[in-house]
Amino acid sequence: MWNGITFDSWYERFSRFAGDLYPGRYTAEYVRELVEMARRVRALAGEKSSTIVAHNYQYPELQEVAETVGDSLGLSQYVARQATPRVDFCGVLFMGETAKTIVGDRSRVYMPDRPGCSLVASIDQSRLDNWTSHHPDGVIISYVNTDAATKARSHYVCTSRNAPQVMAHAAREFPGRRILFLPDKYLGAFAISQSGVDPDRVDLYDGACHVHMKIGETALEEALDRHPDAELLIHPECGCASSCLAKTVVAGPAHGKAYYLSTEQMLWHARNSPSREFVVATEMGMVYRLRKDVPEKTFHPISMLAVCEYMKMNTLEKLLDSLERDRVEILVDGEIQRRAHAAIRRMLEIE
């Protein structure tokens, strides 16, 4: 499939589907360089038996050189099934850690860089210590968008899709015990509202994603005003989308045609919906993916500010360097890995 890396195909694709998303990035000269690097990356991946995966929010060229593109937990489960000796994970650091937590010693996991995440950075372990000292039998539920150390001290991990089910399950399994949900306060509010759990039993950690803060509280309404015939597609993978989720599901739809969908569901829905036009309420990278896979329809980003600078720290240049010099390897301490994996497994057993 990578024989198709040609200047003409990439230049046409990036100009058509990503030119307005990343203004000035895809000049002919730069695309020529990217094509050369991409061929080298694919050759090295073959030599080193590496599985390259990219998160949906990565730059188009990283999505193109990856074997598969998807959300964080899905990619980690994918690489665990491949069992290649090496994995190159293009995403933010907590995603690489999640992959390493799941694959364990079977594969070495590398990333082009070690990008942080503002949602993860909002977690202060001393605040967690304080909470557990006041509630020694309390139950901690952490979003998959957390570092390995936080997952390791959690009873359950959850995704944005299953957060209400995990909260309901935890409340049943541990009757009367206090629950802490972290770090995304919007996702936590959504989980409480949909789970039927008494809100007075749950403490919400006060974390949020900076991309959501940048987009602002009114972006959703403004985007729908600009495109009144569009359907709203919400891909609740990251903190940037969870407030839209809370608004449309908890507060009632701001719009009659709002859909809350995983990556694959979103692609299927966009192809099969009678609607020709969509507003995409998530990071910009997802818009490229949709435009490329469903070229006959029109996709608008919710805001031109819907860009995660952490995701965009990964570049093809850095991926090539990582493959050439075997860096940056992601390691997770054995005990943390064991406990974090247990919290992930408990979540998977609920579904």
Residues forming contacts to ligand SF4 in the complex (CB under 6 A) are 92, 117-119, 145, 209-211, 238-240, 283, 308, 310-311
Task: Return the number of the residue (145 or 195) whose C-beta is nearest ligand SF4.
Answer: 145
Dihedral sign for Cα atoms in the order 182, 187, 188, 194:
negative
Separate counts of helices (H) and strands (E) for the chain: 17, 13
Tell me the closest approach of the beta carbon of residue 213 to ligand SF4, in angstroms.
Answer: 9
**Residue 83 identity (one-letter amino acid):** A
Task: Return the number of the residue (84 or 122) whose C-beta is nearest ligand SF4.
Answer: 122
Task: Return the number of the residue (208 or 323) whose C-beta is nearest ligand SF4.
Answer: 208
Task: Return the number of the residue (216 or 253) whose C-beta is nearest ligand SF4.
Answer: 216
Tell me the closest approach of the beta carbon of residue 68 to ligand SF4, in angstroms.
Answer: 19
- The residue to which tokens 């036009």 are assigned: 277
**CA-CA distance, 175 to 200, in Å (whole number)?**
13
Backbone phi, then psi, for 255, in 5-degree steps?
-155, 145
Tell me the closest approach of the beta carbon of residue 113 to ligand SF4, in angstroms.
Answer: 13
Tell me the closest approach of the beta carbon of residue 64 to ligand SF4, in angstroms.
Answer: 20
**CA-CA distance, 213 to 275, in Å (whole number)?**
29
Cβ(280)–Cβ(258) below 8 Å: no
Task: Return the number of the residue (79 or 311) whose C-beta is nearest ligand SF4.
Answer: 311
Backbone phi, then psi, for 61, in 5-degree steps?
-65, -30
- The residue to which tokens 């359950």 are assigned: 156
The Cβ of residue 75 has, within 10 Å, a number of other Cβ atoms equal to 28
Tell me the closest approach of the beta carbon of residue 208 to ligand SF4, in angstroms.
Answer: 9
Cβ(141)–Cβ(180) below 8 Å: yes
Tell me the closest approach of the beta carbon of residue 196 to ligand SF4, in angstroms.
Answer: 27
Task: Return the number of the residue (75 or 209) whose C-beta is nearest ligand SF4.
Answer: 209
Tell me the closest approach of the beta carbon of residue 198 to ligand SF4, in angstroms.
Answer: 28
For residue 345, give both structure tokens: 């497994």
Dihedral sign for Cα atoms in the order 332, 63, 77, 319:
negative
Task: Return the number of the residue (197 or 233) whose C-beta is nearest ligand SF4.
Answer: 233
* Burial of residue 220, with CB atoms counted within 10 A of its CB: 0-12 exposed, 13-18 middle, 19 or more buried: buried
